[in-house]
Amino acid sequence: MWKPDRSSSVALFQQIADEIERRIACGEFPPGSALPSERKLAEQAGVNRSTVMQAYAELRSAGIIESATGSGTRVSNFRLGPRENAPNWRNYLESGTFMPNLPTMRRIRSELRKDAPLIDFASGELSPDLFPRQAVQQLLRDTPFTPELGYDDPQGYSPLRQALVGLLKDKLNVNVTESSILITSGSQQSLYLIAQCLLSPGDAIAVEDPSYCYSLPMFRSAGLRVFRLPVDPERGVDPDNIEALHREHRLRMIFVNPGFQNPTGTVLQAERQLRLLQVAAQWGIPIVEDDPFSLTAFDGTPPRPLKSLDTNGQVLYIGSLSKIAASGFRIGWLAAPGSVISRLADARQQMDFGLSVIPQWTAAEFVRSGYLHSHLERLQTALFHKMHRLASALREHLPGLVSFRLPDGGLNLWCKLDPGIDPDKLLEEAVKRGVIYVPGTVFGSERGWIRLSYARPAAEQIEPGVRLLAEAVRSL
């Protein structure tokens, strides 16, 4: 994200040339590696394309870079030694087992990193005004920090696990013990550990359709075969579909998000919850319940988690503070049988020797203080009003062109576009106008759906954001 200094007496093109040469010299751009196209570098640096062309011409004349039709611009091998002495990083990048994010998600994140402000309906996190900033500051001022600063317990900071036992019991009627909880750096690490440690390449898993899980590369990286469970917008997944899938593919695991499902906002119907547990128990299939949104219920009464009904230890329950407090805590948890927790804790310790005790201590104090309850009430009210602002703006500015069902909690509105609107072209036009969202295809859905998160934009940005989206629609 480097940009030239326009107040400098050095010409812009020369600053760009000097910066590229510096990065080449320090190994960021090894011999033979590709450089950004003129157009892309101009966009990143905030200059005209002609300025970049001049910078590249300067570097070419010095023999530092070389260009060829069809292969772009690359760092020269001539000045820095023969090609065989430098690693072929392209081969390495293409041969790793961990898959990159989907191109659409990389594009969205790239746009959000730019200096140009975007009204962000894409990010699935809270806006800064919904973070419990004052509560955390008060805790840090008033509470003495006593933990040791060495490596922590492989399962995570014990007082935090104790606090979560109380939280899950009081708020969600989920009965777990401290020894059955593993602290992770968010829900995604829990999913990663499960995929890598409990499943093998070629295993078949069932995932909701649409589902946040489709946006994650980790299942593809683990070589898993993913089969879809259609989500009924009123009742959630149909457990009978699971039985049919298992008979055909021998499912090894089921992944569901039954409380305000991402992206649809659907709650799994009580009757289907019981049937899902029954089907899974019949075939001995573990269920992974990802539950980041239940405590956002607008009326303060969260939907009942599957884990609260689990008497056989068949549900691996994942939760997080990211969607109910702040993503910057980087605190998630996994509740599971002791043998599973031990296996995953051992694997996680090999990765990072455990999480930092400082955010865990802060999270423990926050969870067991009175601040959490008042924060959740404020959060639920704010999300309710932001969701209705979004719905009202869509009805006003896109009447008849977008349809949706209002959820009772969560962070997202799942919207069906008029068939005449091309979702891919719409995203391009929306970004040009300063607003961004996530296309439904990222979640495995058929074309024609989009997810609009009302949690991230400030309340006063929502109506202007929808107005810009409507302009993008009209431009098509």
DSSP string, 174-212: ----GGGEEEESSHHHHHHHHHHHT--TT-EEEEEES-G
**pTM, rounded to two decimals:** 0.83
pLDDT at 82: 46
Distance (Å, whole) CA 78 – CA 354:
45
Task: Report the range of poorest mean pLDDT among 48-52, 288-292, 331-335.
Answer: 48-52
pLDDT band at 81 (very low <50, low <70, confident <90, very high): very low
Residues 182/334, Cβ–Cβ less than 8 Å: yes
Q: Which residues pair with 206 in a beta bridge?
A: 227, 254
Superfamily of structural domain 103-126+374-475: Aspartate Aminotransferase, domain 1 (3.90.1150.10)
Q: What is the mean pLDDT of residues 181-194?
A: 93
Q: How far is CA 168 from CA 181, 309, 318, 355, in A?
A: 11, 13, 11, 21
Task: Provide the Cα torsion 189, 195, 196, 202; round to 10°.
Answer: -160
pLDDT at 232: 94
Distance (Å, whole) CA 91 – CA 253:
34
Residues 220/205, Cβ–Cβ less than 8 Å: no
pLDDT at 85: 54
Verify cis geometry, omega within 30 degrees of 0, for the bond prior to 263. yes
Q: Give me the residue spans of the domains in the chain.
A: 12-95, 103-126+374-475, 145-370
Helix (H), strand (E), coil (C) string for 330-386: CCEEEECCHHHHHHHHHHHHHHHCCCCHHHHHHHHHHHHCCHHHHHHHHHHHHHHHH
Q: What is the mean pLDDT of residues 305-333?
A: 92
- Higher pLDDT: 186 or 409? It is 409
Q: Which helix (H) or strand (E) holds 94?
A: helix 89-95
pLDDT band at 412 (very low <50, low <70, confident <90, very high): very high
Q: What is the mean pLDDT of residues 309-316?
A: 92
- 3-state DSSP assignment of residue 119: strand
Distance (Å, whole) CA 179 – CA 424:
47
Give residue 238's Cα distance to chain centre.
26
- Higher pLDDT: 146 or 82? It is 146
pLDDT band at 299 (very low <50, low <70, confident <90, very high): very high
- 3-state DSSP assignment of residue 166: helix
Does the structure show a pLDDT above 70 at 322?
Answer: yes
Q: Which residues pair with 229 in a beta bridge?
A: 208
Do the bridges between strand 332-335 and strand 412-417 make them parallel or antiparallel, or are there none, so unpaired? unpaired
Report residue 66: phi and psi, to 5°.
-145, 150
- Higher pLDDT: 126 or 90? It is 126
Q: How far is CA 106 from CA 103, 112, 256, 257, 411, in A?
A: 5, 10, 25, 24, 21
pLDDT band at 401 (very low <50, low <70, confident <90, very high): very high
pLDDT at 86: 59
Angle between helices 49-61 and 38-45 (to 10 degrees): 120
Max Cα–Cα distance, the chain, nearest Å: 75
Q: What is the mean pLDDT of residues 96-100?
A: 77
List pLDDT tens digits, range 230-245: 999 999 999 999 989 9
CATH topology of domain 12-95: Arc Repressor Mutant, subunit A (1.10.10)
User: What top-level class would CATH report for the domain 145-370?
Assistant: alpha beta
For 41, the token pair is 């570098």
Give residue 351's Cα distance to chain centre.
20
Task: Report the range of poorest mean pLDDT among 56-60, 111-115, 203-207.
Answer: 111-115
DSSP assignment of 143-165 equals S---S-SS---TT--HHHHHHHH
Does the structure show a pLDDT above 80 at 90?
Answer: no
pLDDT band at 88 (very low <50, low <70, confident <90, very high): low
Task: Report the range of poorest mean pLDDT among 20-29, 235-244, 454-463.
Answer: 20-29
pLDDT band at 190 (very low <50, low <70, confident <90, very high): very high
pLDDT at 83: 44
pLDDT band at 34 (very low <50, low <70, confident <90, very high): confident
pLDDT at 389: 97
Angle between helices 133-142 and 371-397 (to 10 degrees): 160
List pLDDT tens digits, range 350-373: 888 888 899 999 999 999 888 899
- Higher pLDDT: 202 or 115? It is 202
pLDDT band at 1 (very low <50, low <70, confident <90, very high): low
Report residue 145: phi and psi, to 5°.
-85, 115
Q: What is the mean pLDDT of residues 210-218?
A: 83
- Start-to-end CA distance of the chain, whole Å, equals 31
Does the structure show a pLDDT above 60 at 128?
Answer: yes
Q: What is the average pLDDT value for the chain, to the nearest integer?
A: 90
Residues 309/350, Cβ–Cβ less than 8 Å: no
pLDDT at 231: 94
Task: Report the range of poorest mean pLDDT among 69-73, 144-148, 419-423.
Answer: 69-73
